[in-house]
Structure 1
């Protein structure tokens, strides 16, 4: 299995919007919030190719992740993988690479994950800590060099 990341392009928006709808459906349905149109529209409105990396496995679209600069650090957003590829270490590998880059640049990473999402465990193993939550989301932060994936943890 060959995992490659490339910079997002404007033409990626629709295939990724479809992938997002498929990847998020179980969690959004569990929370009573799945809306066929809204799940795609929210991605289209937020998509910024310059902050997005498309994950390809063996040359095919497998997911995406965005790292958006902000005043309070960088936001890790839109981290979706094809559900058929879950459990193969792809998400862990992609995240480890992003954490190495963030640590080298001295960037704090922030994110939010849906309540009850299994992805939260991945983030906690990677050094993210809880900063708050609401009925829909869990908010987390990871200062540079903290937790798994950092040079200090090796």
Structure 2
């Protein structure tokens, strides 16, 4: 599997929205919150093409990731792999790259995941710890890891 990242632009917004909807649909339907218009509005409110990258595997866009740098952490704001590409290790490879970047800067990675989404187990397997829960979301942090010297 050849993993790469490709830049996004404002002209990609409809493709990104559809990817987000496709990736989240099952989880949102499970909790009775599937609403394509709300999903669209939430994405548009935080979209910044300079921070967003397509996830490209063997030449095909299979999802996207948007990380937002802050002073003391990196916010994993959006991270979606299309359902037909899930379960193949793509998410783990992408997350490993994000965590390596954060570790190199000695900063934590923070994120929120939809309650009852399979993504919660995924993030916990990768060292994230719950910090807060709300009605619809669970928030996590993964502190920077240091290489033993």
Task: Give the TM-score normalised by the residue count of structure 2.
Answer: 0.92
Deviates more, 1:92-101 or 1:59-68: 59-68
Deviates more, 1:123-132 or 1:5-14: 5-14
| Aligned Cα root-mean-square deviation (Å) | 1.5
CA displacement 1:85-104 (0-9 Å, x = unmatched): 01000000000011011100
Q: Structure 2 stretches of 5 or more lacking a match?
A: none
Match of 1:39 in 2: 39
- Please state whether the residue corresponding to 2:91 is helix, strand or coil: helix
CA displacement 1:114-146 (0-9 Å, x = unmatched): 11111111211211101011121001011111x
Contact 2:72/2:107, CA 8 A, preserved across alignment = no
Q: CA deviation at 1:51?
A: 1.2
Counterpart-to-counterpart distance in 2, 1:102 and 1:6 = 20
Counterpart-to-counterpart distance in 1, 2:47 and 2:29 = 23
Counterpart-to-counterpart distance in 2, 1:96 and 1:47 = 23
- Determine whether 1:123 maps to 2:123: yes
Q: Structure 1 stretches of 5 or more lacking a match?
A: none
Match of 1:144 in 2: 144
Deviates more, 1:46-55 or 1:63-72: 63-72
Give the 5 Å matches for 1:1-154. Answer: 1-71=1-71, 73-145=73-145, 151=147
Counterpart-to-counterpart distance in 1, 2:119 and 2:75 = 16
Aligned pair count?
148
CA displacement 1:48-91 (0-9 Å, x = unmatched): 11111210112121111111123552210110011000100000
Task: Give the TM-score normalised by the residue count of structure 1.
Answer: 0.89
